[in-house]
Amino acid sequence: MDEEQMYLSQVPKPLPSRFQAKSVSRILDRLFIEKGYAAEQSRELICEQWELAVGKNLSSQSKVGQIRRGVLHVFAANEIVRSELEFQKSKALQCLQTALPAMQIKGVKILVERRS
């Protein structure tokens, strides 16, 4: 090892800058999470699959809520719609699980929408 290499090996290396360029995809992923766009897109996807699972008529009289602890909450317009959705619940759940495996939906809870 010559004298120059020995001297250069003793010089401290510069620390990486905190202002380093970040990839655009990483920035967009973070933005989507912070602004809630990802949740909105997944909600639209769930609504579309719900319509395919129960049919256009019943889906127009029900509203898809949130997924809490693996259970999708659905709000029916009235008691008659709720009972019909309860009848079709197992078929709808199976359709949702096959179409949306990443959502990990374990059950469907059907409630009557309260109007004030």
The residue ranges of every structural domain in the chain are 24-112
Mean pLDDT of 75-96: 95
pLDDT band at 38 (very low <50, low <70, confident <90, very high): low
pLDDT value, residue 30 = 78
Secondary-structure class of domain 24-112 per CATH: alpha beta
pLDDT value, residue 36 = 64
Regarding predicted confidence, which is higher, 28 or 65?
Answer: 65
Residue the block writes with tokens 């309260």: 114
How far from chain centre, in Å, is Cα 30?
Answer: 14
Cα–Cα distance for residue pair 64/69, rounded to 1 Å? 15
What type of residue sits at position 24? Answer: V
What residues contact 96, with CB distance under 8 A and at least 6 apart? 46, 49, 50, 53, 72, 103, 105, 108
